[in-house]
Amino acid sequence: MSSLPENPDLAWDLDDFSDRERAMEFVQRFEHTMCVYSPSVEQLYTNYKMFFPQEWARKLVILPDPMAFHDTFFHIQPEAVVSTGLYIVPGELVGKSGLYLANVREDRTLGDRQVPFEAGMRAIMRNRPDDDQFLPVLAKGDLRQFEQAWPVLHLHRIKPRVLERISDLDRSSLAAVINEKLESLFVDLQKAAFE
């Protein structure tokens, strides 16, 4: 890989991380379980690889699988993808193991609530109306450093009701893929808890 992808949304900076290795390990846990959104081309990638090319030492590069064109959703307008204010944080940050769902205050300090990731996500999903499901995705800038050393992931979500330029079938397929990937993350976390 000699050049960065043409789409700037797919080249994430790691310059701010004091422990780049920790950030790389953390974000790679989500490579097969979270979709990535690109507002500049209005696409959602469900099948991609993460690379950390040596010639671009401070970058994480997201490369969609070119052979899996059908795994990309098109016409996902930016106004349909919103910030949630929720973060996936490593349990060690709150003195526990596993992953946690947390809020972060405006002053960049950890909020009052930290709940186990799966339990928190399931509660949020359960309490959403059918036509406004909680569909979490990642976007450039969501991988952040917290308290000088900890990588955390901010979550965006797709608002299905706002998706005006895709068919009902595509809207349903998009929700199914995001939920399927989230379920696989829950399974991975359960396996890790028993190792």
Read off the pLDDT of residues 44-63 as tens digits, 9 standing for 90 and up.
999 999 999 876 667 899 99
Q: Is residue 177 part of a domain?
A: yes
The answer to the question of residue 1 being in a domain is: no
Please give the Cα distance from 188 to 195 (Å, whole number): 11
Q: How far is CA 180 from the centre of its chain?
A: 14
Q: Stretch 21-36: mean pLDDT, rounded? A: 94
pTM: 0.92
In a domain, 25, yes or no: yes
CA distances (Å), origin 192, targets 73, 74, 94: 31, 34, 18
Domain count, the chain: 1
- Domain membership flag for residue 103: yes
Q: Give the chain's mean pLDDT.
A: 90
Structural domain contains residue 98: yes
Q: Which domain holds residue 139?
A: 8-194
Residue type, 37: Y
pLDDT, position 192: 78
Q: Residue 53 has what pLDDT?
A: 85
